[in-house]
Structure 1
Amino acid sequence: MADKAKKEEAVAEEVAVAKPKQEVSAKEANPEKFLKDFNWHNYEEGIDQVDEGQLEEFEKLVAENFVDTLDDEVVEGEVVYLTDRDAIIDINAKSEGVISLNEFRYNPNLKVGDKVEVLIDVREDATGQLILSHRKARTIKAWDRVNKAHDDGTVVNGFVKCRTKGGMIVDVFGIEAFLPGSQIDVKPIRDYDVYVGKTMEFKIVKINHEFKNVVVSHKALIEADIEEQKKEIIGQLEKGQVLEGVVKNITSYGVFVDLGGVDGLVHITDLSWSRINHPNEIVDLDQKLNVVILDFDEDKTRIQLGLKQLNPHPWEALGKEMKVGDKVKGKVVVIADYGAFIEVAEGVEGLIHVSEMSWSTHLRSAQDFVNVGDEVEAVILTLDREERKMSLGIKQLTPDPWTDITKKYPVGSKHNGIVRNFTNFGVFVELEEGIDGLIYISDLSWTKKIKHPSEFTNIGDTLEVVVLELDVEGRKLSLGHKQTMDNPWDKYEDDFAVGTKHTAAIDEMVDKGAVINFNEDISAFVPKRHLEKEDGSELKKGEEAEFVIIEFNKEFKKVVASHMSIHKEEEAKIVKQAAKAAAKQAEESKPTLGDANSKLQEIKDKMEGKKKK
């Protein structure tokens, strides 16, 4: 209470200084006391005696000196006194209010007489003191200003306080707003920290009233300026025009260049006449460079730029003395399945097709011969300066192996070769690099019936071969493998002649008969009716029996055998012998017809009895 008395005394002294005592009425000197001591009863009784002038003066006094202390209304007050911790604020209420100096930390130069905005926080505390809040008043006013700036689209100033995840925190009118990283600048930002502590202009782009969130953008202001520059630049664009730009972004497929508000793309193929793996081999971020406009769409929103076009094409600088047949050296820059590209000069490439890498007709991958980065020597095969194409060859550096083929591989000579490839009709065998020959499937074996070459040999196997035919012009070589051995059918022609008998077991039953193997080379076919045994039944798989050869064809390697003919032959012999015996007896005794019939009946009974056994 003592402090309050001192404060009131100080206020009274200031009022006394402001006006001379003789000019200050009781109402003006202490209007609160005047109203408190005013005798309203006497006033009401003598109201008829108060003139209109006095009533108007009273109403004016109330209107000028008193405020309605509503909780949510911001009023303006004046700093009348400062202590070490508080500021005494006069808002023309029945008592002064108190605000902690902590709420004025943003304004270290606060002094007596300053006007400040305040909000009634507590009308009367335990001591009857009016408690005000400057911070809350600022917040309310700040939201009003933020909403107005958002609605009007006006530019506001903000202080970048710190960095946060995904962007920055900005103080706008005392409210913390969020500045996304994508809204800082039109260019990608690599270092956010350079903006901390700076005061910048912003545009309020979004307000969330439910969560009290504010989003601001600096990029929106830049884009507005850029849009004007963009329209001016786009209106002047022409193909072939050379402009200066700044490298804005680098990707794997090209470089984006800022032309002063308009972005254009330099594709990786338009950066250099030479092949490159990545654009960063040619340019750096933020690098200034000149580019030429190659093309753009109707709206001029997509602009294609070129960098290499500022320099002459390397083919134009290629020496006139270079011609077909010359040897050149270069570096392997690209490898494809069909060949390798060799850079013989900067920006000048030639193709070595895989067929020109080796004299071998067995084509392989280009990677079997060269690697990227290899330095190679080659011979120019074709040269087209207008089409800017060049074909090269490596195999031409070594002699063609077919030049003396007749001396190295005459018909009838034997050699060893490596199996390189299969086809349905034969096997390709490499005798040396560049010399391949074909063994037809029929020339693989004398005796085996081969359906596919893979049944006989494998890729990479070494085979002994004989040169059967040689076509120098067609560069074709016919080989044989079975010819390296004697033809076993020459020997079997006598061993398995028609009529010879052999014992074997049924190996396989087929639709029209059976197959028997006499040895590893000779197989015979037994027709179904020739499987009949003496008792009328048929031979089964695995059953062993005696067979007679009824057909032998060496040329077609065909053998046919029969079991039935064995016992049929025996029957024919018996009949023949019986006939001879009957004829002889008839000649000697000249028997009657009844004797002859009796003899024949006896022979017939004998044969039937044998069959039954």
Structure 2
Amino acid sequence: MVDRHLLREFSITDDELDSFLGTSFADLTGEDADMDSVYDETSRSFDANEIIEGRVIRVDDDEVLVDIGAKSEGLVLLEEWEEDEKQPEPGDTVEVLMEDLEDIHGVILLSKRKADRIREWERIIEKCNEGDIVTGNVVRKIKGGLLVNIGVNVFLPASQVDIRRPNDIADFIGQDIECIVLKIDEPRRNIVVSRRKLIEDRRADLKRNLLEKLEEGQLREGIVKNIADFGAFVDLGGIDGLLHITDMSWGRIDHPSNMVNIDDKIEVMILNVDREKEKIALGLKQKSKSPWENIEDRYPLNSRVTGEVTNVMSYGAFVRLEDGIEGLVHISEMSWTRRINHPSELVNIGDQVEVVVLNINTDKQEISLGMKQTQPNPWDNVTEKYPIGATVTGKVRNLTNYGAFIELEEGVDGLLHVSDMSWTRKISHASEMLKKGDEIECQIVSVDEDRRRIALGLKQLAGDPWETTIPDKYGPGTIVTGKVTKITNFGVFVELESELEGLLHVSELADHKVDDPEQEVKVGEEIEVRVLRLDLDDRKIGLSRRLDAELDDVQQVDETGKPIATPGELKGGMGASGGPLFQMPTAEQEAETAAEETAAEEAPTETESAEAESTEEASAESSGEAEGTDETEETEKVDE
């Protein structure tokens, strides 16, 4: 019998066959009935995407012909059978999915692979529910996550891969992993799973059990999971503990990564357990004995030791004496003689230095060290080297408004106060007398070895003119010529000789009453005056321009130089001119006048500006070295 189905496979119609044979198809087959009607009775109708059971008729090179009971056979590609699967043979029964009822060639297209997947999905749905734990192999990475095959491909979102999202989720491809089913969408045949939730649930159980067992002082193994600037997080098997950077080593470390790496397995000590907050503090260094125990025995005070510079800061340098033991050499303890702006001028990281132990604080775990103590102190026995009254030579190192610092030797300075620079001249700033770098000769006035202070004098090298020449040269009644240097509201200052001035009071400017001294004299004008009085105690000379005044207006002095009251004063406190009695100006008046003159002076010259800048720099330089010398010394000199 002719196989009608085979003819149709080759697209040969009944009419073409009749024409070829010269007889009807019915005659050829010996059947009187219409064959289509026969097949219509034995076949049934099929729907697309329906799973059908068929029988393998023939296997070609890359195709399998399957009889599914339809008018024509279906075609399945041979590649839909997996390599490790039994290959199809004629007569085998197979489940296939109808993809297309009939193509242009009249062939029914079938798919075994899709039928298998549908059956797998149905089996998964039957035995799998939301919340179940499943195991699958990571197939590939897709947008937003991974595909995991648990019999069917399910979706694992990237956020659900791990507790901490990995750098690249593609690292999981090919791995078998366990997940928990989050959601099943049957209409869409979609399942979403989570590995993260499974881990979190398991860790929660482990955490509860672990927290009950943890005790302070226990040693536990853990795995480093994360590293931060302040420390490392270690997984103890269900809960993370913090290993702080300060608990990693007894010594100094710059970063936790210098001690541990991620995924390192380490043994740590439980330092503290907070069960309410579920926080655990861990330690590494506590596994060994603290190097600070019995530190005083190994490093007694004033002992000399050698160490390595580990860090240099603006305030000093840290020196490691041994692992876990570092001391600080403060910048003030680095040199007896050098003026150090930054410790890097003397030491650098890695240098080996000799130091002296100055102090140990075991509670704070601090050691104070000194470098200069390894060298002789130039202030030792300074009293013997610089006795009071001795004449010394030094270099002007710094100038201030209260005096000058004179370097007598390296590391030993003396202060030359402005009040000790001249017997007669009033000095506002040391720069009026000296320049930085000058070599000068001075006299030792006082020595305080404990406070490391030496007071120097310049004027003491010569005799005091107020005790020798001035009383004889400027006795009361003496007429002299001088130059007007300053004009104030209470009188005029007249320079009698270099660095010696007298006061011409406003009441002694003329025989008549004077309201404005500038109407009578000018600065720089030379005038003739008479010494009215001489005050050796206050070192002041009173002058008068009334040269022909009577003798009773002239102040008399006794043999010690103290003023004697004049007849005019005894007569009621009036001068010979009928005006107010002459009085020497008070310190307040002189200070007020000096302030007014300073405000009225012209801008300084370039040379003066340069000197002022130099003075300011020197003053700033010595501010930290003088150790309070400025205000204290000035106050002492004023008191003297």
TM-score, reference length from structure 1: 0.62
Q: In structure 2, do the counterparts of structure 1 residues 315 and 451 end up closer, same or farther at CA, with 3 Å as the change threshold?
A: same
Which AA in structure 2 matches 1:266? L
User: CA 1:408–1:315 in 2, change beyond 3 Å: closer, same or farther?
Assistant: same
CA displacement at 1:174 relative to structure 2: 6.5
Note the C-alpha offset of 1:312.
Answer: 1.9
Partner of 1:269: 246
Counterpart of 1:252 in structure 2 is: 229
> What letter matches 2:452 in structure 1?
R
Shift of residue 468, structure 1, vs aligned partner: 1.9
Q: Is residue 75 of structure 1 aligned with residue 77 of structure 2?
A: no
Contact 2:444 2:454 in 1 (8 A): yes
- Structure 1 segment 118-267 matched on structure 2, within 5 A: 118=97, 120=99, 122-131=100-109, 152-161=130-139, 177=155, 180=158, 183-185=160-162, 195-203=172-180, 217-267=194-244
Deviations 1:492-523 (A, max 9, x none): 9999997544566x88x877788899999678
Q: 1:5 is aligned with what amino acid?
A: R
Does the CA-based 8 Å contact 1:253-1:267 persist in structure 2?
A: yes
Q: Where do 5+ consecutive residues of structure 2 fail to align?
A: 13-30, 551-640
1:293 corresponds to which residue? 270
Using the alignment, how far apart are the partners of 2:511 and 2:77 within structure 1? 130
What does 1:15-164 align with in structure 2 at a 5 Å threshold?
33=37, 36=40, 65-69=44-48, 75-76=51-52, 78=54, 80=56, 82-86=59-63, 88=65, 96-98=73-75, 111=88, 113=92, 115-116=94-95, 118=97, 120=99, 122-131=100-109, 152-161=130-139
Inter-partner Cα distance in structure 2 for 1:526 and 1:167: 103
For 2:530 and 2:184, how far apart are their aligned partners in 1?
A: 108
| Separation in structure 1 between the aligned mates of residue 415 and residue 339 of structure 2, nearest angstrom | 12
Q: Write the distance in 2 (CA, Å) between the matches of 1:89 and 1:542.
A: 137
Shift in alpha-carbon separation, 1:546–1:317, aligned structure 2, 3 A: closer
Q: Distance in 1 between matches of 2:190 and 2:500?
A: 98
1:5 to 2, 5, 8: 8
Aligned pairs (5 A) from 1:478-493:
478-480=455-457
* Larger CA deviation: 346-355 vs 486-495: 486-495
CA contact (8 A) 2:46 2:101 kept: no
1:250–1:285 CA contact under 8 A, matched in 2: yes
Judge conservation of contact 1:79–1:87 (CA < 8 Å) in 2.
no
The residue aligned with 1:378 is 355
Distance 1:510 1:446 in 2: 23
Q: What is the DSSP-based 3-state SS (H/G/I as helix, E as strand, rest coil) of the residue aligned with 2:354?
A: strand
Shift of 1:152: 0.9
Instruction: Letter of the 1:440 partner, please give it.
Output: H
For residue 294 of structure 1, report the CA deviation from its aligned partner: 0.7
> In structure 2, what residue type is equivalent to 1:312?
K
> 1:116/1:221 Cα in 2 relative to 1: closer, same or farther (>3 Å)?
farther
Structure 1 residues 364 and 87, CA, compared in 2 at 3 Å: closer, same or farther? same
Distance 2:95 2:425 in 1: 114
- For residues 119 and 318 of structure 1, the distance between their equivalents in structure 2, rounded to whole angstroms, comes to 88
Instruction: Rate the CA distance shift 1:98–1:467 in 2: closer, same or farther, 3 A.
Output: farther
1:306-385 alignment to 2 at 5 Å? 306-316=283-293, 320=297, 323-335=300-312, 339-359=316-336, 366-382=343-359
Matched, 1:414 2:392: yes
C-alpha deviations, 1:450-472, integer Å up to 9, x for none? 65668888998877654221123
Q: Which 10-residue stretch deviates more, 432-441 or 542-551? A: 542-551
* Cα deviation 1:174-208 (Å, max 9, x = unaligned): 7585653x754457857867543334344466899
Q: Secondary structure at the match of 1:235?
A: helix
CA shift at 1:418, angstroms? Answer: 5.7
**SS, match of residue 410 in structure 1:** coil
For the aligned residue pairs, the C-alpha RMSD in angstroms reads 5.8
For residues 523-563 of structure 1, the C-alpha deviation after alignment (integer angstroms, 9 at most, x for no partner) is 8888889999999998589987554557898987878889x
Residue 152 of structure 1 aligns to a residue whose secondary structure is coil
CA distance in 2, matches of 1:450, 1:516: 17
TM-score w.r.t. length of structure 2? 0.60
Aligned equivalents of 1:512 and 1:441: distance in 2?
A: 26
Distance 1:128 1:336, change over 3 A: same
Note closer, same or farther for the CA distance 1:308–1:99 as it changes in structure 2 (3 Å cut).
same
Q: 1:462 to 1:127 in 2, by over 3 A?
A: farther
Q: Deviations over 1:66-111 (max 9, x none)?
A: 4444xxx553554745554555566666655555567777987663
**Segment drifting more, 549-558 vs 246-255:** 549-558
- Residue 414 of structure 1 aligns to a residue whose secondary structure is strand
Q: How far 1:295 sits from its partner (Å)? A: 0.4
Equivalent pairs counted in the alignment come to: 515
Identity %: 33
The structure in which a higher percent of residues are helix is 1
SS in 2 for 1:230: helix
Distance in 2, Cα, partners of 1:235 & 1:356: 53
Conserved in 2, the CA contact under 8 Å of 1:234 and 1:300? no
Q: CA 1:233/1:503 → structure 2, altered by over 3 Å: closer, same or farther?
A: closer
Matches within 5 A, 1:493-508: 499-502=479-482
Per-residue deviation, 1:160: 3.5
Task: State the Cα distance separating 1:303 from its structure 2 match.
Answer: 0.9
Q: Is the 8 A contact 2:310 2:318 kept in 1?
A: yes
Structure-1 separation of matches of 2:112 and 2:429:
100
- Give the 3 Å change call, closer, same or farther, for CA 3–450 of structure 1 in structure 2: farther
* CA distance in structure 2 between the aligned counterparts of 1:482 and 1:117, rounded to whole angstroms: 124
Q: Secondary structure at the match of 1:314?
A: coil
Letter in 1 for 2:255: H
Q: Specify the alignment match of 1:405 in structure 2.
A: 382
Secondary structure, counterpart of 2:275 in structure 1: coil
- SS of the aligned residue for 2:380 comes to helix
Q: Name the structure 2 match of 1:467.
A: 444
Pairs within 5 Å for 1:513-532: none
CA contact (8 A) 2:483 2:495 kept: no
Deviation at 1:366, TM superposition (A): 4.9
Q: Aligned pair in 2 of structure 1 residues 294, 401: CA closer, same or farther (>3 Å)?
A: same
Which ranges in structure 1 are unaligned for 5 or more consecutive residues? Answer: 10-25, 38-60, 574-613
